[in-house]
Structure 1
């Protein structure tokens, strides 16, 4: 990773161990930002910071922080006041517990940071904490202060570094009450089997293969307009039939997923209970042939019967053909005899 400026310097504290660290952003945004403009002349629209008492624009150096009291009184707060907060986590990431990873609700996950060792003295305790994380397969719950407020965090190992994930406080996560369907619905085993099959067919994916297609499309539009060309047109959305039956929708989804992966779409999803039918048993999932031989003998008998029937048909046809020829010959001979008599 290229050199990134630290946004906070402090220490990790657990027990009597203190590790000097530097906080570095672990993520970055690649989104395309726009400017507000005056559409008539393309002039930039800017927000100016104006003092409402003097009615003039002020510079950044003249701007500070203040807390507005209930009666409207402004109480100034300086950076020095914030630097000397009576709070143990003002400059310390204080580890309060080590817990299994599954104890952390993903809903609480917030911004992520890397913790870089703060100089040579931090190398030994930093490595010790990292290896302890690896061997215990646990994460640490910690408290720290950043950007004007105390936060909850989780420490874990990423590669050879220690990462800090900001966590929302438990009371900041809303309960999902009233969001689930209030209608009583029954899901049968066949529907679950098809849902499982769809999940298996879609399978896993390497997240490295995913990318922001919206940003790429937006870059194409910007490039086209910059070159004085018409922006590319959006492709026609794929037409899909309206499916009202859940089973049919699942089956079509499995088929589409298989086709997109180049698999045989007609292969069965999974082994289902055999239905009573006059047709032969279909192939099992995965295209494997059935090892059952119970129906081989009837098939042979049917073939033999068909062969006998064919032979019988051939004999009947041949005998009919021969009889027809004999009858025609007799008629011809009779006509010739009649002709001779008339001539005499």
Structure 2
């Protein structure tokens, strides 16, 4: 069973809903240790002084912010503690908005909110009212001494909470080089062909269809090596040729898609796996 990582209340107006916060995502990653190649000895990393190379114990290390080359302002742990946001056990709803108004760029980490003891009715009231209104809540809350902006929305039988980036953390598109200009406007024929290609690849979203193949391959490699199998490295895949004739590439893509079974049949095959 999952364990909550935080508990508090959702506050909107004068209504408080006690809730518990759970992780909604379990990352599928593979962690490797660094070993000495000749004997498998574990490598330990030490913190050393760049001036004399001596190892520095943890109690002699302070935080420093570089204001110019090799010039730092040091900040103590006590000084930082005075700047922490005021400890709170409340998710303060500030606004209700439409989900489509929030660019997915703003979303960061996902969690579940579950009602605490005795809060099931008020929890379901809020969830149902939000679903009926077609709104999500924008709120603030404090987790591990850091203030977060968050979006709350109905998700099946629960409310989900997604932490969000603040507006000044999103890089403006004006700072990007190489964006397409007027000279790259597609022709009507190109648009029609691209539209056909999109339509031929359109299907209902099924998250189970998309698997973390790299993770599966790495774990398979580890298991086979642990069993003593000898692994032969595959040659690197050749890079695809650059697209020179856009129309020819679109036509070839459509021809390839037409050879595939219909979307409904592909969906049945995927669900049967």
After TM superposition, the score normalised by the length of structure 1 is 0.64
Q: Give the match for residue 95 of structure 1.
A: 93
Q: Give the match for residue 148 of structure 1.
A: 145
**Can you give the 5+ residue segments of structure 1 that lack an aligned partner in the other structure?**
264-344
Could you say if the C-alpha distance between residues 251 and 235 of structure 1 is closer, same or farther in structure 2, counting changes exceeding 3 Å?
A: farther
Does 1 or 2 have the higher relative contact order (CA < 8 Å, sep 6+)? 2
Whether 1:219 and 2:233 are equivalent positions in the alignment is no
Instruction: String of CA shifts for 1:57-83, please: whole Å, max 9, x gaps.
Output: 66xxx89x976589755533399x67x
Q: Give the match for residue 292 of structure 1.
A: none
Separation of aligned partners in 2, 1:176 and 1:73: 34
**Can you give the 5+ residue segments of structure 2 that lack an aligned partner in the other structure?**
264-273
Q: Supply the RMSD in Å over aligned alpha carbons.
A: 3.4
* Bigger-Rg structure (1/2): 1
Q: Give the match for residue 202 of structure 2.
A: 203
Separation of aligned partners in 2, 1:142 and 1:67: 31
Q: How does 1:82-231 map to 2 (within 5 A)?
A: 87=86, 90-120=88-118, 122-177=119-174, 178-182=177-181, 184-204=183-203, 205-231=205-231
8 Å Cα contact 2:24/2:111 also seen in 1: yes
8 Å Cα contact 2:85/2:146 also seen in 1: no
Separation of aligned partners in 1, 2:45 and 2:170: 34
Separation of aligned partners in 1, 2:109 and 2:24: 8
Q: Give the match for residue 269 of structure 2.
A: none
Q: Higher helix share goes to which structure?
A: 1
- State the Cα distance separating 1:123 from its structure 2 match: 1.4
Q: Give the match for residue 7 of structure 2.
A: 9
Separation of aligned partners in 2, 1:94 and 1:241: 53
8 Å Cα contact 1:92/1:144 also seen in 2: yes
- State the Cα distance separating 1:233 from its structure 2 match: 4.9
After TM superposition, the score normalised by the length of structure 2 is 0.79
- Length, aligned pairs only: 252
Q: Give the match for residue 76 of structure 2.
A: 75
